């Protein structure tokens, strides 16, 4: 497997990482167990299967000169390449039995991945009850976005018939200089990119005006982590959607807004006038088409109507904001800042990464992201996956991130928080469940 130059956004994720802000994705899967030894058997399976998944052998190595001399902007970049010393036993770890999967997952999520070898880990957590075990997967965001992480994880689970992505398109040979016949088009494209960059920058500046967030969402980082999970019935979400309108995603985001309101009021911080900026990532990867391995993300930025006391009104506000973002498209607006990574030289990412990371708090207050999962049941060693909680990384200066997945008729909220800033994450988790019940009651005739 040859070295592959990191895409600009991957390089940004690689360089903004710090000890207190590791940039890895996570997913905690809970499996039914047939015996108390099921966890140990699962760990053996994961290690054996990882050796056969090429993507799990890939390490990231900083380079000063791109192997492709036609890409001078790659000076100071990094490559994704096979690790000749790859040993899956360094990446799969069996832990002692526990009665609280999330307590262990929180401590494991705060530990950065080792950067000198393939940046992923699988932690197997046997349950003390003997009838369940969990697996915490961690993938560095520079190695995989949500879709690719799913594909890598599927490679070590029991075989599942997933649609295969088509082969990557092969670019025709190019010279060192562009074809002069394409210069007018290239010039128009460059001007369009400049216009889009200016538009995004102006939108970011405007998004900071008149914002009232909560200190609980933007506390100074401690480097600690806590996780929690909530499970909802997808039928309840559809009930609300059919009564009020909008999409399932609109309802799920509105639930976050309502839960934050309950949580802030209960802890005494107060929700009046609070409207934090939520970044909603949008994948620009097209299924079943040839795409490079790197992250292809943009995003929408919306104000969560936390200060609105009416749950139906909150949902209407979210729906309107999301419709406005969709009409504008994922390539413009404050949420599309990730696209600017394409216009920064690799050396700029390396030197400016820490500063960019610190600027995240100026851009958004909370991340709310959706992670797609296959509709078919997943298994490991014949043991069915019953729950799956996705975890997003915390940006510097932010205390909470929310990731959502839908799996076999149930919605799973994965909450990640700075443990010192949000010691009461369980209260927020309960507030998610309470908010759904309130929405259902408000929508019933």
| Three-state SS at 95 | coil
Question: Six-digit token pair at 93?
Answer: 């770890």
pTM of this structure: 0.84
| Three-state SS at 358 | helix
| Average pLDDT of span 67-96 | 79
| Average pLDDT of span 236-250 | 94
Q: For residues 377 and 371, what is the distance between their CA atoms, to the nearest angstrom? A: 16
> What is the reported pLDDT for 362?
61
> What is the reported pLDDT for 372?
80
| Average pLDDT of span 332-360 | 46
Residues near 27 by Cβ (< 8 Å), separated by ≥ 6? 136, 137, 149, 153, 371, 388, 389, 390, 391, 414
| Three-state SS at 385 | strand
pLDDT per residue over 361-409, tens digit each? 667 899 999 988 887 789 999 999 999 999 999 988 789 999 999 999 9
DSSP per position, 229-269: EEEEEHHHHHHHHHHH-S-HHHHHHHHHHHHHHHHHHHTTS
- 88 DSSP 8-state letter: G
Write the secondary structure of 153-217 as one string of H (helix), E (strand) and C (coil). HHCCCCCCCCCCCCCCCCCCCCCCCCCHHHHHHHHHHHHHHHHHHHHHHHHHHHHCCCCCCCCCC
pLDDT per residue over 163-175, tens digit each? 444 444 444 444 4
Closest residue by Cα to residue 50 from 93, 89, 88, 90: 88
| Residue 303 in this model has a pLDDT that exceeds 80 | yes
Q: Quick count: other Cβ atoms within 10 Å of Cβ 268?
A: 6
Q: For residues 332 and 201, what is the distance between their CA atoms, to the nearest angstrom? A: 10
Longest CA–CA separation in the chain, Å: 69
| Average pLDDT of span 411-428 | 96
> What is the reported pLDDT for 338?
45
Which residue's entry shows tokens 């309840």? 236
């Amino acid at each position: 497997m040859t070295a592959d130059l990191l895409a600009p956004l991957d390089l940004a994720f690689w360089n903004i990482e710090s000890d207190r802000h590791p940039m890895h994705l996570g997913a905690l899967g809970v499996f039914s167990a047939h015996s108390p030894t099921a966890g140990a058997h699962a760990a053996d399976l994961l290690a054996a299967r990882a050796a056969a998944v090429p993507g799990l052998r890939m390490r990231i190595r900083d380079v000063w000169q791109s192997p492709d001399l036609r890409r001078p902007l790659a000076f100071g970049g990094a490559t994704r390449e096979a690790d000749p010393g790859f040993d899956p036993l360094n990446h799969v770890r069996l832990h002692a039995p526990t009665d609280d999967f999330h307590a262990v997952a929180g401590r494991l999520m705060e530990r950065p991945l080792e950067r000198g070898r393939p940046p992923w880990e699988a932690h197997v957590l046997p349950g003390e009850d003997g009838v369940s075990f969990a697996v915490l997967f961690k993938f560095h965001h520079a190695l995989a976005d949500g879709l690719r992480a799913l594909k890598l994880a599927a490679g070590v689970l029991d075989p599942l018939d997933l649609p295969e992505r088509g082969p990557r398109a092969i670019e025709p040979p190019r010279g060192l200089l562009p074809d002069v016949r394409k210069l007018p088009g290239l010039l128009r494209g460059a001007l369009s990119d400049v216009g889009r960059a200016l538009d995004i920058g102006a939108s970011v500046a405007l998004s900071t005006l008149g914002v009232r967030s909560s200190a609980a969402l933007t506390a100074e980082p401690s480097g600690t982590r806590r996780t929690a999970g909530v499970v909802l019935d997808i039928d309840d979400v559809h009930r609300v959607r059919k009564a009020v309108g909008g999409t399932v995603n609109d309802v799920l985001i509105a639930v976050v807004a309502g839960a934050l309101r309950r949580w802030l009021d209960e802890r005494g911080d107060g929700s009046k006038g609070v409207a934090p900026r939520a970044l909603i990532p949008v994948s620009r990867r097209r299924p079943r088409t040839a795409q490079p391995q790197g992250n292809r993300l943009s995003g929408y930025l919306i104000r969560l109507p936390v200060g609105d006391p009416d749950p139906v009104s909150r949902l209407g506000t979210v729906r309107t904001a999301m419709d406005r973002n969709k009409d504008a498209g994922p390539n413009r607006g404050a949420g599309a800042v990730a696209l600017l990574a394409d216009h920064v030289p690799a050396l700029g990412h390396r030197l400016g990464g820490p500063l960019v990371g610190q600027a995240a708090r100026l851009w958004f207050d909370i991340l709310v992201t959706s992670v797609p999962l296959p509709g078919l049941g997943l298994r490991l060693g014949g043991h069915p996956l019953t729950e799956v909680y996705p975890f997003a990384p915390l940006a510097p200066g932010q205390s909470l991130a929310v990731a959502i997945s839908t799996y076999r008729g149930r919605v799973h909220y994965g909450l990640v928080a700075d443990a010192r800033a949000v010691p009461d994450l369980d209260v927020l988790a309960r507030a998610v469940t309470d908010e759904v019940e309130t929405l259902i009651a408000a929508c019933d005739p």
